[in-house]
Amino acid sequence: MARDTSKSPAPLPGNKVRVARIGAPHGVRGELKLWSFTGDPAAVADYGALETEDGKRRFDIETMRPAKDHFIVRLAGVADRDAAAKLTNIDLFVPRERLPAIDEDDTWYHADLIGLAAVTPEGVALGTVTALHNFGAGDLIEIATTQGGEPLLLPFTDAIVPEVDIAGKKVVVVLPSVTE
């Protein structure tokens, strides 16, 4: 099953999707580290102006080059290290309509899955999808359980999540059996 590897949180008011995070300054001339959360990491520069969650600040990428596990960018209007430092850890968003359409079955933007109900194959409510993560060994789906407490973190595979029903606003989850 093809999966999008972005780490987008829930869709936001105005239908925004998180596509990147600004990191620490790089050097003294205003360059910054940038982590892209798009399927093709370099595509983050193709979506036009990136904005803060509240939409009050917009950023245009002037230059971008790859680094070890991120990009080094120059943002319009950021001329020195002090200005760059004030932007550290800001998440960047784009309106959903600027993202490319998905033509493949069984492929979704992570933001499409956040907020869906998680149910067993029998229809028993487990909770709500709150996040998708990828720490290098494959995607994990995070579910806030109906009982509260610690969230479930499960592999986002066909065996564990055999059905994603966007229209029905649910995912079917087969809980793994625990043996002692």
The pLDDT tens digits of the residues spanning 99-117 come to: 888 778 777 887 889 899 9
Is the model's pLDDT at 175 over the cut of 80? yes
Q: Domain check: are 21 and 51 in the same one?
A: yes
Pairing of strands 117-119, 170-172: parallel
Query: Does the residue 156 lie in any domain?
Result: yes
Query: Does the residue 70 lie in any domain?
Result: yes
Pairwise CA distance, residues 37 & 92, whole Å:
10
**CATH number, residue 162:** 2.30.30.240
> What share of the chain has pLDDT > 70, as a percent?
91
Structural domain harbouring 36: 16-98
Contacts of 168 (CB under 8 A, 6+ apart): none
Q: Domain check: are 70 and 130 in the same one?
A: no
- Token pair 């971008």: residue: 64
For residue range 124-161, what is the model confidence (pLDDT) as tens digits? 999 999 988 877 778 899 999 988 889 999 999 999 99
**Of the candidates 110, 177, 117, the residue with the CA atom closest to the CA atom of residue 146:** 117
Q: Domain check: are 91 and 137 in the same one?
A: no
Q: Domain check: are 94 and 119 in the same one?
A: no
Q: Domain check: are 60 and 88 in the same one?
A: yes
pLDDT band, residue 13 (cuts 50/70/90): very low
Q: Domain check: are 27 and 90 in the same one?
A: yes
DSSP character string of 14-82: TSEEEEEEEEEEETTTTEEEEEE-SSSGGGGGGS--EE-TTSS-EE-EEEEEE-SSSEEEEETT--SHH
3-state secondary structure 49-63: CEECCCCCCEECEEE
Q: Domain check: are 65 and 123 in the same one?
A: no
